[in-house]
Copies of this chain bind each other. A is one copy, B any other.
Amino acid sequence: MIGGQKASRVDGFDKVTGEAKYTGDLNLPGLLEAKVLRSPFPHARIESINTEKAAALSGVVAILTRDDLEDINPFYGNCLRDRPLVALDKVRFVGEPVAVVAAEDPLIAEEALSLIDVRYHELPCLGTVEDALAAGAPLVHESTAGTGEFHDIATVGAVMKPNVCHYEFYERGDVTRGFAQADQILEETFEFPMIYQYAMEPHTSVARVTDGGITLWSSSAHPFLVRSELAHMFGLPHAKVEVIVPYVGGAYGSKSYFKIEPLIVAMARKTAGRPVRLAQSVPEAMLTTRRHSAKVRIKTGFNRDGTLIARDAEVVMDTGAYADNGPRVAKRAISRMIGPYKLGDCKVEVSAVYTNTVPAGSMRSIGGPQTIWALESHMDTIAHGLGLDPLEFRMRNLLKRGEELKGGATPIDADLRQGTKAAADHVCWSQRPNQIGKGRGVAVGVSDSEAMPVSVALLRLLADGSVLLLAGTTEVGQGARTILSQIVARELDVPIESVIMRGTDTLATPFDRSTGASRSTTVMGSAVKLAALDLRKQLIDAAAEALGTNTTSITLRNGTASCGDPCLTYSEVVSRYFGMPGGELIGRGTMRPGQGLGPKLPLFWETGMGAAEISLDIETGAIQVDRYITVADVGKAINRVQAEGQDEGAAIQGLGHTLFESLQYDNGQPVNANLVDYRVPRFIDMPALFDSALIENEDGPGPYGAKGMGESGIVSIAPAIGNAIFQATGVRIRTLPLTPERIWRALNDAKRGM
């Protein structure tokens, strides 16, 4: 038991009672409220901004526009610094911030927005990737488009198309030769919609700027990256930018990197030290970030016996008006298009394309659902075409542990057949359903989440035996504080109640790269474990000194150090060490590339298998998921309830893009960016039988053999359901979501032989 694998959430009580504080709960004396004036046009030149009337409104304290940015670096971005904190010369999407008002009251701020007079000159809207890539299309970004450059991933290849924010290229072998040698070739094109991350808490920040520097409270998942970006923009040392993250009400990528933070800090520079809050509404949050939509062309050559020979794939992603995390999303798509199967020659191209829509960034498994939807549907089509059982076809081709998915990357580190078989068994794969409209489908997801191995942790054993855990992982609802506390409790052998971990404060908490990419248990968990081991060593040394014995005779158990009979509580050890009831021992743990977590990247392959059984009303297209199983290979579940909860949550989130969700644009105008029109799964939409199974081979690089699994469940549900529809109807639907209308049309088209 790891500090009790059934340990209750350490944040459970706070959250159930409402004691848990989120950024929006923060109140400060003199707190001002900010509201944002947003562009109504997808693409327009700003001819003038007149704030005179708004500024004269009683209760308005300050207004921020492009005229206030002269003494700073107004551009930001985690991949490309292509985005100004408010629009400069032009606006590039509907919802782009043009001006910000800070007022005594949100209603005053709102009213002031209506008094700001902005004159726009409309420009042609590049509403789709097709518009954007068309020869001679106008440019979303005159300066950066087509350069393919961004700041922290090397670029491979280059194209001469307009509005390409980023281009990734991968090739091994010779696909032309491969296709020539194949018995058959299948080419399909799949589509994946724009998706909103839909965290319960819209992104919220409060900023205060004084001579002493910046203090920012934010519902950020990446506080340390926010710190460095703000330091860069506003010309401050990192030590003068304090980023504080209380509890966060869900993130799913929507709070990664920098969203509203640059804007609110710039606003707070104009309020003479008064703090300013920007609490976004959900519709505003939906105009802030989203998941990339994608069009995936996939062409595979294979032999009659089901051997895969060659693949040529092309992914075109709509990255919206600014790069955000687009380049990284593009990069991550590569390995998913190669796929976890034995395959010879392979070529993959991925473009992230600028359009006049809301910028796309991170979302749970960046680039994963889009590509795995395509690949696993495509694999199914191949199997059916060859008359092979799709499960059998997969089992035959799946890579084995130790085989390489991609040269240079970590070889496969999991038993993929075990998870796939578990999923299939759960829906009784071998018994083919014989009712009309019933079908079963299976899918396999293998991802590189790009978990970066950089985390630092401190552990302070205080003189009363309580333990302060300083780790920069943000508690976004995933249960990180519980997991990390369990690791400490186990390594120090103390009750989990004596371990206390609070939110991040960059002035107190050591560096962590980010919360995301399923990395916290593996990477921060390892740093925390190292810190605990470092602390254990000190405890043992101090206990040996106090008990007058050698260190090898000391045993640490249940909060005490003993050598046979003589026994001291940790509190007594610390007090003896310092000669007073004070002092503290500090354990330190550092994770960095190439140290401890394996020599290559990815640190682990994140695998999520799924199997579905569905019932279809073939008259109406109405679909019911009768059964769904999600299987995550977690290495080791440090907290079983949390791991299952997270895997199930991911699957249900995936059910959203599978059946319901799609952010719709009409020539650059968002159509359904609100809570009423954007449809997410409800309880009534849950599969009638819904389960998760955890594979635990203790083969992960994290503590106790754990590996990342927060993104496992989301990738396979769409193809599993799509494949079940195929099994039920023989019709392959290649566009998500699988709404009744789309299913009905597809069945009708098939009937009519289209």
Q: Using an 8 Å CB-CB cutoff, how does the interface string of A500-526 with B read, 1 for contact, 0 for none?
A: 101001011011010000000000000
Among the stretches A340-348, A430-438, A584-592, A610-618, the one at the interface with B is A584-592
Contact of A500 (CB < 8 Å), options: B239, B467, B580, B581? B239
A31 to B27, CA, bound (A): 11
A453's closest neighbor in chain B, by CB?
B579
| A237-B464, A239-B468 known, 18 other contacts, Cβ within 8 Å | A14-B211, A17-B211, A27-B29, A28-B28, A228-B463, A237-B465, A237-B498, A239-B466, A239-B467, A454-B578, A456-B584, A458-B586, A508-B508, A511-B578, A511-B584, A513-B582, A577-B592, A579-B593
Contact of A239 (CB < 8 Å), options: B231, B237, B462, B579? B462
Task: Establish whether residues A579 and B463, one from each chain, have CB atoms under 8 Å apart when the complex forms.
Answer: no
Residues of B within 8 A of A30 (CB): 27
A566 close to B (CB within 8 Å): no
Residues of B within 8 A of A240 (CB): 466, 500
Residues of B within 8 A of A505 (CB): 508
A452 to B583, CA, bound (A): 11
A584's closest neighbor in chain B, by CB?
B511
A542's closest neighbor in chain B, by CB?
B592
Residues of B within 8 A of A224 (CB): 582
A460 close to B (CB within 8 Å): yes
A679 close to B (CB within 8 Å): no
A210 close to B (CB within 8 Å): yes
Task: Establish whether residues A507 and B468, one from each chain, have CB atoms under 8 Å apart when the complex forms.
Answer: yes
A238 close to B (CB within 8 Å): yes
A594 to B228, CA, bound (A): 42
The B-contacting residues of A in range 378-421, CB under 8 angstroms, are none
Instruction: Tell me, rounded to whole Å, the shortest Cβ–Cβ distance linking A288 to chain B.
Output: 24
Instruction: Tell me, rounded to whole Å, the shortest Cβ–Cβ distance linking A271 to chain B.
Output: 15
Task: Establish whether residues B581 and A593, one from each chain, have CB atoms under 8 Å apart when the complex forms.
Answer: no
Given contact pairs A29-B29, A582-B225, A510 touches B464 in the complex (Cβ within 8 A): no
Contact of A466 (CB < 8 Å), options: B237, B454, B500? B237
Size of chain A's interface in residues, with CB distance under 8 A? 57
Residues of B within 8 A of A590 (CB): 583, 586
A67 close to B (CB within 8 Å): no
Instruction: Tell me, rounded to whole Å, the shortest Cβ–Cβ distance linking A688 to chain B.
Output: 40
Chain A to chain B contacts (Cβ below 8 Å), 16 pairs: A19-B211, A27-B29, A29-B31, A224-B582, A238-B462, A238-B464, A240-B500, A454-B578, A505-B508, A507-B508, A508-B508, A510-B584, A513-B582, A578-B592, A578-B593, A586-B588
A548 close to B (CB within 8 Å): no
Residues of B within 8 A of A467 (CB): 239
A564 close to B (CB within 8 Å): no
A71 close to B (CB within 8 Å): no
Contact of A586 (CB < 8 Å), options: B29, B460, B510, B579? B510
The B-contacting residues of A in range 449-491, CB under 8 angstroms, are 452, 454, 456, 458, 460, 462-468, 470
Instruction: Tell me, rounded to whole Å, the shortest Cβ–Cβ distance linking A601 to chain B.
Output: 10
A594 to B578, CA, bound (A): 10
Contact of A582 (CB < 8 Å), options: B228, B458, B582, B584? B228
Task: Establish whether residues A210 and B19, one from each chain, have CB atoms under 8 Å apart when the complex forms.
Answer: yes
Residues of B within 8 A of A13 (CB): 211
A31's closest neighbor in chain B, by CB?
B29
Task: Establish whether residues A228 and B592, one from each chain, have CB atoms under 8 Å apart when the complex forms.
Answer: no
A599 to B460, CA, bound (A): 27
A136 close to B (CB within 8 Å): no
Task: Establish whether residues B454 and A583, one from each chain, have CB atoms under 8 Å apart when the complex forms.
Answer: yes
Task: Establish whether residues A592 and B588, one from each chain, have CB atoms under 8 Å apart when the complex forms.
Answer: no
Instruction: Tell me, rounded to whole Å, the shortest Cβ–Cβ distance linking A686 to chain B.
Output: 34
Task: Establish whether residues B456 and A583, one from each chain, have CB atoms under 8 Å apart when the complex forms.
Answer: yes
A212 close to B (CB within 8 Å): yes
A467 to B464, CA, bound (A): 30
Residues of B within 8 A of A152 (CB): 580-581
Task: Establish whether residues B238 and A466, one from each chain, have CB atoms under 8 Å apart when the complex forms.
Answer: yes
A499's closest neighbor in chain B, by CB?
B239
The B-contacting residues of A in range 1-53, CB under 8 angstroms, are 13-14, 17, 19, 27-31
A509's closest neighbor in chain B, by CB?
B508
A456's closest neighbor in chain B, by CB?
B584
A225's closest neighbor in chain B, by CB?
B582
Task: Establish whether residues A583 and B212, one from each chain, have CB atoms under 8 Å apart when the complex forms.
Answer: no
A452 to B584, CA, bound (A): 15
The B-contacting residues of A in range 545-593, CB under 8 angstroms, are 577-584, 586, 588, 590, 592-593
Residues of B within 8 A of A225 (CB): 582
Instruction: Tell me, rounded to whole Å, the shortest Cβ–Cβ distance linking A80 to chain B.
Output: 15
Q: Using an 8 Å CB-CB cutoff, how does the interface string of A208-243 with B read, 1 for contact, 0 for none?
A: 001110000000000011001001000001111000
Residues of B within 8 A of A584 (CB): 456, 510-511
Task: Establish whether residues B588 and A231, one from each chain, have CB atoms under 8 Å apart when the complex forms.
Answer: no
A581 to B454, CA, bound (A): 10
A465's closest neighbor in chain B, by CB?
B237
